[in-house]
Amino acid sequence: MGVEGCTKCIKYMLFFFNFIFWLAGGVVLGVALWLRHDSHTSSLLELKFDGHQAPTTFLNSVHILIAVGAVMMVVGFLGCYGAIQESQCLLGTFFACLVILFACEVAAGIFGFMHKDSISKELITFYDNVYENSVATTLTDQDKDKKQAAAAVLKVFHETLECCGRGLNNPFATLLTQGLTDICPKSVAASTTDCHGKIRELFTEKVYLIGIAALIVAIIMIFEMTFSMVLCCGIRNSPVY
């Protein structure tokens, strides 16, 4: 004999939301793994040139998401089991975990919103550095090792993003460079497919995807925190306990 009436209804609602939360954790984990191994992002962010690694801010964020997804699945299971067993201890632990996760998510959301453009800016700076070195070594025919290294890095950028050049501010310089060197793929129109725009577009899509997932999870967590406290109080006040 357990809780009765409205409290029993809340018990099953909490179980349902916990199951959704557990599934959401699996989705977050799956999306994070997809972002980590996506050919477009992984091939760009694992590049190295002249002893410098491509910016790792995005990869670090993805690794955090992987950990969060795994923790969400564990906490979701804890909540489901606590609700079915009507355990105040498990529900209290579940509530504490939710509060910590919610606070971390809010902090991460604020930080991510404030620095949403930094990932693309860092990668654009890295691209510009490699591009300038490649142009200089190609036109002067000096430092062949550095020339080959830069060409290999740029090839990944250009073939992955199907772009060429550093932006539309100076398309004629890009076209001239494309004509004098083999930096850019001949199939790409440099005047309309600049790499700066492609990089911004790539990471803007990823950031919005992460933001939507985080918002959905936050709404579920608010319901779960409310239901877990109500159920915990209902169990405490139940004459059976």
The strand pair at 48-49 and 52-53 is best described as antiparallel
| Cβ-based neighbours of 233, under 8 Å, separated by 6 or more | none
Instruction: Answer yes or no: is 196 within a domain.
Output: yes
User: Domain for residue 176, yes or no?
Assistant: yes
Question: Is 89 a domain residue?
Answer: yes
Domain-embedded: residue 193: yes
Domain assignment of residue 86, yes or no: yes
Are the CB atoms for 61 and 104 separated by under 8 Å? no
Query: Which residues form the domain of 228?
Result: 6-40+58-135+157-237
Whether pLDDT at 220 is above 80: yes
Domain count, the chain: 1
Is there a domain that residue 152 lies in? no
At 178 the pLDDT is 57
Q: Is residue 144 part of a domain?
A: no
Asked whether 36 and 62 are in contact (CB, 8 A), the reply is yes
**Phi-psi region at 189: left, alpha or beta (left = phi > 0; alpha = psi -120 to 50):** beta
Mean pLDDT of the chain: 75
pLDDT digits (tens, 9 = 90+) for 96-139: 888 888 888 777 777 777 777 777 888 888 888 888 777 676 65
pLDDT at 199 over 70: yes
Highest mean pLDDT among 37-46, 83-92, 202-211: 83-92
User: What per-residue confidence (pLDDT) applies to 1?
Assistant: 43
The closest alpha carbon to 34, from 209, 219, 188, 195, belongs to 209
**Is residue 202 included in any domain, yes or no?**
yes
